[in-house]
Structure 1
Amino acid sequence: LGGAKPVPAGHPVDTFKKENQSLKREVIKIAGLFDNVTDLSEKQLPGFILQLRTIFNNLSDVDKHYKRKEYLLFPFLEKHLITGPPKVMWGKHDEIRDLLKSSFEALESPVSTVEEMKSLVQLVLVPAVEMLDGMIMKEEEILFPMAMDTLTEEEWYKVYQETPNFGYCLFDPEDEWQPSGTKVEKQEYVTADAIRLSSGAFNLAELEALFLHLPIDITFVDKIDKVRFFSHSPNRVFERNRSIIGRDVRMCHPPGSVHVVEQILSDFKSGKENKAVFWMSNFMGRFIYIEYSAVRGKEGEYLGVVEVTQDITQMRKLEGDQRLLSYEHK
């Protein structure tokens, strides 16, 4: 394996490896918490549990990493008659998913004493983290070198093209990759020259530019609670990157506010409510207005929820009228 092929920047394996680096950082953080559990006081317990929930929230993002292996990488390995490692790894993925789920459930249940916390760490949390960490090692030492030596450049490019559909794990790639000396078809997002809507049409460049210039931030969550889209506003209030695409929206919020997210989703899906509004009067010196709206189809069926966020600091200072042309200059 020492002579394995180098991995170009932006290559699917480069992305897998960068995700593993992000996961490893979370593993190191939580290992430090595990080491401190013996010195924990009852007063520190709630904060300790909140830290664990936050890290396990991040670790759950590994599901996208695993799905890309299962549905993009493994089929090509099997095409080359490499069937054993994919089959074994897929089974291990499912075990890790079950352990992470059990860890979440355990951290959501009441833990009233430090002794209970110690037992929870040893019996439930440590096995989950150790198994996830072990999978990182198997990928780095066995799977990725083998895959680099096996797949053709054309096959890797197909993996690359499909990767954004599954989303990224705790990492947002900045480098683009295209195999040199290989004929590849450019991926098209629309088959016609325009995206046609009931009230007009855009081409893709116009639509991308429109979202970039709107004075609001938009995030769309579909009917099964997965993040499907966010606008790339230049001055976003809340940071977003492509690692959230395909992620359960509950996992995109701090553990302490998940119950609010659950309530909004439940009320929107049942038809009980259609809008929820929040504002923060001093978010990093800005007044922020946040509006969640249920998105419904023509028959009233629930399609998802859109979050619209806006910095209204300057709007709140407006007085009187402005009827004459005036340009804003910075």
Structure 2
Amino acid sequence: MADEKRAVPPKLDLTPEQTAAMRRAAAMDAPDIAALPPGHPVAVLRAENAAMNARIDALAHDNELPEPPADFVERFLALNAVRTHYMKKEELVMPLLYQYGVTGPSDVMWRDDDAMKKELGTISRSLQEDAGNAIIYRGRIRTLLAGLKSMTRKEDAILFPLSLRYFSDEEWYAVYDDAIDMGTAFIAPHEPWEAAEVWRKAQADAAAAKTFENGKIQLPTGELAVRELRAMMKLLGVDITFIDAADHLRYFENEGKVFARPKLALGRPVYDCHPTQIVPVVKNLLADFKAKRRDHMTIFRRIAGKPIGVRYHAVYDDDGTYLGAVEFVQDFTEALEHFQK
């Protein structure tokens, strides 16, 4: 992927908010980055850069010693956390700049990021094979460390100020929201950005209030027509069974066809779908799910000569309310054959 040529996304039609932001960007003075509120994406990215630079300086010093310290390799490998930093920059910040037609800085940075990630991977693999290779790679390590540090200066001087000039508050809230799942690099999890948290709650409340609109199921991460959802579920190749909070079978997808699933079973108590000797096990499992004594159970065994995995998971709402249980049944024959080649 690193040496794969990236296609520049086409410039999109600007929304009124983006057009207004462009006008503001042309007129405004350089933003005061140091005054950003705690948790703001740029504040976090800059903190990551500062922490990485401290590590780079220490590694650069040790790289010039006749013999690198014993922990040199471990500290060098820790630099791979920069991939998280670059992922946030490349997946969240750069695409928004593209939408405003600002492509030059991002194109150059993306190319350089890819080259450095590739070099970082090459050197890391060599050092993992033999720590003594640190001396052999001394020149390449020196060049890589200089490149990584140079990129932090470019981000601070070009990318971040540009982004702050163009992006609206709501766009920054959206960047913050996505960045949470991506984590942080070189620093501890950051404190919440209060304004963005208010926005996130409002978004979550609005999404929860909508379940079906314009013929599509409304979900927190998008929308799907029922036929689209059904077509996707059929591609999974996994048996899925959902039991509601009252222990009634409400839904199944039987594409894996490990166990028979008659439609007549829909709406029945799940206990009616099992042999008598199994019913106490099922009752105990569901009771544990409801009481939150455990939230899953996994069983692997051969069924009809095939390696089958059966996973039971409790399903809870965002507020912790028990909604039911789901069973996944999967035939692992193909996966095992692949790894045994």
| TM-score, structure 2 as length reference | 0.50
Q: Higher mean Cα deviation, 152-161 or 177-186?
A: 177-186
Q: Is the 8 A contact 2:120 2:144 kept in 1?
A: yes
Aligned partner of 2:46 in structure 1 is 17
1:9 match: secondary structure: coil
Quickly say closer, same or farther: Cα 1:26–1:56, change in 2 above 3 A: same
How has the CA–CA distance of structure 1 residues 161 and 128 changed in structure 2, closer, same or farther, with 3 Å as cutoff? same
**SS, match of residue 173 in structure 1:** coil
SS of 2:162's partner is helix
Structural RMSD (CA): 4.3
Q: Are the structure 2 counterparts of residues 150 and 97 from structure 1 closer, same or farther at C-alpha, using a change threshold of 3 Å?
A: same
Contact in 1 for aligned 2:73/2:134 (Cα 8 Å): no
Q: Residue 132 in 1 paired to residue 152 in 2?
A: no
Over 3 Å counting, the alpha-carbon distance change for 1:300 and 1:184 in structure 2 is same
CA distance in 2, matches of 1:146, 1:188: 32
> Which one has a bigger Cα radius of gyration?
2
Alignment counterpart, residue 144 of structure 1, candidates 141, 148, 160: 160
- In structure 2, the residue matched to 1:62 is 82
Q: Distance in 2 between matches of 1:68 and 1:180?
A: 19
Which residue of structure 1 lines up, in the alignment, with residue 171 of structure 2?
155
**Is 1:99–1:127's contact at 8 Å kept on the other side of the alignment?**
no
Gaps of 5+ in 1: 41-46, 202-213, 217-270, 272-295, 303-330
Distance 1:35 1:183 in 2: 48
Counterpart selection for 1:90 from 100, 106, 110: 110
Q: How far apart are residue 121 of structure 1 and its match?
A: 1.2
Q: 112, 122, 141: which one pairs with 1:102?
A: 122
CA distance in 2, matches of 1:191, 1:165: 20
Q: Where do 1:1-330 residues align within 5 Å?
A: 3-5=30-32, 6-36=35-65, 38=66, 48=70, 51-110=71-130, 117-122=134-139, 124-171=140-187, 172-178=189-195, 185-187=202-204, 191=208, 198=242, 297-301=328-332
Higher relative contact order (CA 8 A, sep 6+): 1
CA deviation after TM superposition for structure 1 residue 154, in Å: 1.4
Instruction: Give me the identity figure in percent.
Output: 23
Q: Look up the match of 2:274.
A: none
Query: How many residues matched?
Result: 207
C-alpha displacement of 1:191 = 4.5
User: 1 CA distance for matches of 2:30 and 2:331?
Assistant: 59
Q: Distance in 2 between matches of 1:56 and 1:92?
A: 19
Relative to structure 1, the CA distance from residue 63 to residue 39 in structure 2 (aligned partners, 3 Å threshold; closer, same or farther) is: closer
* Runs of 4+ with deviation above 4 angstroms: 179-184, 188-193, 197-201
- What is the distance in 1 between the residues matched to 2:207 and 2:199? 23
Shift, 1:192, TM fit: 8.2
Aligned counterparts of 2:55 and 2:293: Cα–Cα separation in 1: 34
How far does the alpha carbon of each residue in 1:78-108 deviate from its partner, in whole angstroms, 9 at most, with x for none?
1222110111111111011011011112212
Tell me the CA shift for residue 183 of structure 1: 10
Q: Say if 2:38 and 2:191, in contact at 8 Å, map to a contact too.
A: no
Contact kept in structure 2, 1:99 and 1:128, CA below 8 Å: yes
> Once structures 1 and 2 are overlaid, which stretch shifts more, 9-18 or 145-154?
145-154
Given that 1:11 and 1:177 are in contact with CA atoms closer than 8 Å, whether structure 2 keeps it comes out as no
> Structure 2: which 5+ residue stretches go unaligned?
1-27, 211-240, 246-291, 295-306, 308-326, 334-341
Give the residue type in structure 2 aligned to 1:120: Y
Q: Which amino acid aligns with 1:165?
A: D
Alpha-carbon deviation of 1:166?
Answer: 2.2
2:157 partner amino acid: E
What amino acid does structure 1 have at the position aligned with 2:84? Answer: K
Q: Distance in 2 between matches of 1:75 and 1:104?
A: 29
Deviation at 1:189, TM superposition (A): 11
TM-score by length of 1: 0.52
